[in-house]
Amino acid sequence: MSLLSASLLGIDFASPLMNASGVCCRYNEELDAMLASDAGSLITKSCTLLPREGNPEPRYTATALGSINSMGLPNEGYEYYLDYAVKHDYAKKPLFMSVAGLSLEDNMAMLTAIREAKLPAIVELNLSCPNVPGKPQIAYDFEAMESMLEAASRVWAQPFGVKMPPYFDIAHFDEAAAILNRHPLVKFITCINSIGNALVIDIERESVVIKPKDGFGGIGGDYVLPTALANVNAFFRRCPDKQVIGCGGVKSGAEVFMHLLAGASLVQVGTALQEEGCGIFARLNAELAEILQRKGYRSLEEVRGKLRTL
């Protein structure tokens, strides 16, 4: 046991840090770079039944405060990531697979195939892709979300997690949490995906900065940190039998520590990883360790969810 040891679903992690799905995880070479990094685990790009090219470029732009993207689910198809998962050495670090089918039936077909491979891979079911034209996010349609979780629980029949979009109203936290709590196999909740359908404008060019959807896309980075922390803490409070993975606005040890205080068991890095590369994990581990030591903490467990209110 070291200072940065973490645990999810009874599995041990040498560090709580990992990539957010979508960053550094489309191709085998990127996944191998994640494996060689100081991240505690890694996750594959959200996959569909068949490979997809995604939306036209430019489809990602970094700004002074974060990023905007409308990638449109570019991925190599689930069989590619399943092959990677079959070859992965789970003694090195745990591996997550992100699944984001375009329909309930597609998700069930992928979950069936992954289940039949009998791997220790952890599934994160993405209920919150904001960027496929004409496809609303499942987690913003509570009936669709209920049906998806019911079917996934039946077909997958073992613990899994869900990637959630941000919510902005207490009534929505309550309703989403109540639905998740009706599904005991949902053992972890990853909060948050990007804040969807934002618009970044460049005043010199008097233009949008990404091509798809007339410039509308999901934002990450500094823009989303307080929203991410609120969602982590809202689900941590409402779902005592589940774990939470924090995602949003992490660029130094300080934001990792904030996510832990809010209730996160693991913490994902998106925009900052895209901008800095896999070397970021050594820096974040060192910065987090420095904060913990300065405050006299001996484990992450002592910090998790210990946020004080006034």
Binding site for ligand RRO (CB under 6 A): 22, 46, 69-73, 100, 126, 128-131, 193-194, 218
CB 233 to ligand RRO: min, Å = 21
Q: How many residues does the chain have?
A: 310
CB 131 to ligand RRO: min, Å = 3
Query: From CA 300, how far away is CA 27, in angstroms rounded?
Result: 32
Nearer to ligand RRO, 75 or 233 (CB): 75
User: What stretches of the chain show up as alpha helix (H) in DSSP?
Assistant: 28-36, 78-87, 104-116, 142-156, 170-181, 225-238, 253-262, 271-276, 280-294
CB 221 to ligand RRO: min, Å = 11
CB 275 to ligand RRO: min, Å = 15
Residue 63's SS3 state is: strand
Query: From CA 81, how far away is CA 133, in angstroms rounded?
Result: 24
Q: Look at phi and psi of residue 158 and say left if phi exceeds 0, alpha if psi is from -120 to 50, else beta.
A: beta
* CB-CB contact of 56 with 211 (8 Å): yes
Nearest to 269 by CA among 40, 4, 12, 32: 40
**DSSP letter string, 126-178:** E-----STT---GGGSHHHHHHHHHHHHHHH-S-EEEEE----SHHHHHHHHH
CB 196 to ligand RRO: min, Å = 8
Nearer to ligand RRO, 98 or 243 (CB): 98
Nearer to ligand RRO, 16 or 218 (CB): 218
Nearer to ligand RRO, 197 or 252 (CB): 197
Query: From CA 142, how far away is CA 215, in angstroms rounded?
Result: 27
CB 69 to ligand RRO: min, Å = 5
Catalytic site positions: 129
- Please calculate the CA angle 256-139-85 and round it to the nearest 5 degrees: 65
Nearer to ligand RRO, 210 or 292 (CB): 210
Nearer to ligand RRO, 24 or 288 (CB): 24
